[in-house]
């Protein structure tokens, strides 16, 4: 449908002028939000347009994931041989570096399909992904992009450069992908220069990454101080903490994403703030790897743009938001904190991050914005207003079922039925490929 009306819903616009419109409607035309108001108003103005009935549903902007690892799919349920990993470095060595090296072209593709399905089913319409597959590195980002295009969402893709197999491996793949973007729709596809982490790249490799980034005017997507190993390595080899080293080498800036930032000190927080570098918080992953709690509240107080990601744990962004809310209350032993800040990461900051990286207005329902929409089943048990919205988001909408997902006006899921991908057949082939991959690792 080139144009249609969503009617009878509770419309949550978000954005700078957040409104909640009861019995609201959204007019979608040519992939954008063309009008917004009450159902009565819009039906009068667009009487001959097809409608979607959102009675007893919330209509809001699609969610944005600021850090994903699509390739992590086939780790689900896998137990690495040997003793369980204890340190973060052991987790990398015994699981993730074996899994990514065992990926084939087909398993890269199907590893992407599964979380893309889950993104659509959870109302996530834009992702920023960080990929690794050393045995089939060249062309891997195009494989993922093909899956993303078939699914119908938006994605910023990069390959995580590392020296752990071949020095500077992945630089050429980032370069190739950034060149390929000229033939892709920029409203749907963007790129960065991916880097694994400070502890797996030399200064020489970082200089090569910087050449590519500057040539294409993009930022960097890099894990920073996730485990203590990162700053210990940086101090031992460069006599600097992780952020100090990266900033000295120019790996920073307003288009750069520092992922995690768990083990950063006050000076490093100041450097992040001074360089207008973005931080992405991944609370479930940090808890899963037992690496600590990122000082998110302190970074927000210093004016740092902090977003929210999943680190490949899932594609469900509201769940990450509530995890962040509860984690920081628990960490501070203070029930007064993070009620505003955790939702801010998801619904405000992720939109700001995406709008730095994509040439289209994302994260709000307003005239001229992209028609990226999640429609959720939700009958509020108490009054739903702009003053009560955060409470509903954290304790109600977080558990709501997504009924429909729309990107650029295209309906990717309607009445809980996927429209672009065949989940049963994709899952069947994924299981077969995962079994083969597990055998290779074991």
Tokens of 173: 């793949």
Query: Are the C-beta atoms of residues 164 and 97 closer than 8 Å to each other?
Result: yes
Instruction: Flag whether pLDDT at 1 surpasses 80.
Output: no
pLDDT digits (tens, 9 = 90+) for 132-148: 999 999 999 999 999 99
Instruction: Flag whether pLDDT at 397 surpasses 80.
Output: yes
Of residues 351, 300, 97, 291, the one with CA closest to residue 200: 97
Query: Are the C-beta atoms of residues 198 and 233 closer than 8 Å to each other?
Result: yes
Query: Are the C-beta atoms of residues 200 and 194 closer than 8 Å to each other?
Result: no
Weakest-pLDDT range from 76-90, 344-358, 371-385: 76-90
Task: Please tell me whether residue 324 adopts helix, strand or coil conformation.
Answer: helix
Each residue of 324-340: b (16+ CB within 10 Å) or e?
Answer: bbebbbebeeeeeebee
CA distances from 34 to 4, 20, 125 (A): 10, 17, 19
Of the pLDDT bands very low, low, confident and very high (cuts 50, 70, 90), residue 313 is: very high
Tokens of 337: 């904190």
pTM of the model: 0.97
pLDDT score of 96: 79
| Strand-pair partners of 169 | 162
Q: Which CATH superfamily is domain 63-357 in?
A: Metal-dependent hydrolases (3.20.20.140)
What residue ranges in 205-288 does DSSP mark as E strands? 220-224, 257-260, 278-281
Containing 357, the helix (H) or strand (E) segment is helix 350-357
pLDDT score of 217: 98
Two domains, one topology: 3-62+365-418 and 63-357: no
What φ, ψ does residue 210 adopt, rounded to 5°? -65, -35
Query: Are the C-beta atoms of residues 234 and 199 closer than 8 Å to each other?
Result: yes
Query: Are the C-beta atoms of residues 25 and 37 closer than 8 Å to each other?
Result: yes
* Per-residue 3-state assignment (H helix, E strand, C coil) for 362-405: CCCCCCCCECCEEEEECCCCCCCCCCCHHHHHHHCHHHCCEEEE
Instruction: Flag whether pLDDT at 426 surpasses 90.
Output: yes
pLDDT digits (tens, 9 = 90+) for 278-308: 999 999 999 999 999 999 999 999 999 999 9
Tell me, what DSSP letter sits at residue 19?
Answer: -
Domain definitions of the chain by residue range: 3-62+365-418, 63-357
Work out the average pLDDT over 93-98: 84
Mean pLDDT of all residues in the chain?
96
What gap in Å lies between CA 354 and CA 349, rounded to an integer?
A: 9
Instruction: Flag whether pLDDT at 90 surpasses 90.
Output: no
Tokens of 363: 């994260």
Of the pLDDT bands very low, low, confident and very high (cuts 50, 70, 90), residue 352 is: very high
By the 10 Å C-beta count (0-12 exposed, 13-18 middle, 19+ buried), 245 is classed as buried
Of the pLDDT bands very low, low, confident and very high (cuts 50, 70, 90), residue 382 is: very high
Query: Are the C-beta atoms of residues 335 and 297 closer than 8 Å to each other?
Result: no
Per DSSP, the residues of 78-146 read ---SSSPP-SHHHHIIIIIHHHHHH--HHHHHHHHHHHHHHHHHTTEEEEEEEE--GGG-TTHHHHHHH
By the 10 Å C-beta count (0-12 exposed, 13-18 middle, 19+ buried), 77 is classed as exposed
- The side-by-side arrangement of strands in the sheet containing 306-308 is 193-197, 220-224, 257-260, 278-281, 306-308
CATH architecture, domain defined by 3-62+365-418: Roll (2.30)
Helix %, strand %, coil % for the chain, to 5?
45, 25, 35
What gap in Å lies between CA 375 and CA 23, rounded to an integer?
A: 14
What gap in Å lies between CA 361 and CA 363, rounded to an integer?
A: 7
- The side-by-side arrangement of strands in the sheet containing 189-191 is 63-68, 124-131, 154-159, 189-191
């Amino acid at each position: 449908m080139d144009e249609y009306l969503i009617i009878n819903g509770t419309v949550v616009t978000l954005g700078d002028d957040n409104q909640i419109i009861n019995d609201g409607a959204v007019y979608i035309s040519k992939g954008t939000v063309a009008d917004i108001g009450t159902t009565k108003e819009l039906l009068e103005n667009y009487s001959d347009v097809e409608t979607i009935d959102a009675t007893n549903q919330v209509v809001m902007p699609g969610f944005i994931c600021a850090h994903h690892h699509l390739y992590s799919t086939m780790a689900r349920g896998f137990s690495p041989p040997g003793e369980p990993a204890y340190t973060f470095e052991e987790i990398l060595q015994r699981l993730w570096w074996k899994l990514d090296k065992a990926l084939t072209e087909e398993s890269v593709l199907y590893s992407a399909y599964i979380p893309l399905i889950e993104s659509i089913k959870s109302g996530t319409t834009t992702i920023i992904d960080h990929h690794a597959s050393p045995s089939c590195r060249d062309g891997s980002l195009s494989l993922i992009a093909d899956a993303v295009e078939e699914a119908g969402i938006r994605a910023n893709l990069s390959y995580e450069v590392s020296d752990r197999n071949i020095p500077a491996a992945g630089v050429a793949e980032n370069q190739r992908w950034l060149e390929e973007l000229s033939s892709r729709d920029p409203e749907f596809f963007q790129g960065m220069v991916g880097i694994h982490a400070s502890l797996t790249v030399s200064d020489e490799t970082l200089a090569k990454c910087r050449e590519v980034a500057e040539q294409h005017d993009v930022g960097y997507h890099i894990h920073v101080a996730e485990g203590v190993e990162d700053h210990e390595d940086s101090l031992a080899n460069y006599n600097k903490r992780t952020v100090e080293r990266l900033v000295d080498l120019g790996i920073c800036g307003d288009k750069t994403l520092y992922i995690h930032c768990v083990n950063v000190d006050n000076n490093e927080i100041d450097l992040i703030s001074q360089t207008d570098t973005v931080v992405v918080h991944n609370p479930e992953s940090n808890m899963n790897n037992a690496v600590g709690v990122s000082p998110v509240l302190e970074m927000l107080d210093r004016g740092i743009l902090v977003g929210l990601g999943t680190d490949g744990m899932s594609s469900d962004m509201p769940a990450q938001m509530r995890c962040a809310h509860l984690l920081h209350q628990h960490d501070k032993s203070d029930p007064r904190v993070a009620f505003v800040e955790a939702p801010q990461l998801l619904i405000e900051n992720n939109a700001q991050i995406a709008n730095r990286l994509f040439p289209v207005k994302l994260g709000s329902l307003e005239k001229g914005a992209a028609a990226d929409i999640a429609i959720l089943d939700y009958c509020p048990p108490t009054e739903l207003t702009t003053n009560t919205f955060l409470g509903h988001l954290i304790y109600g909408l977080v558990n709501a079922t997504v009924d429909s997902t729309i990107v650029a006006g295209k309906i990717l899921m309607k009445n809980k039925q996927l429209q672009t991908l065949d989940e049963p057949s994709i899952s069947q082939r994924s299981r077969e490929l995962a079994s083969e991959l597990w055998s290779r690792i074991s």
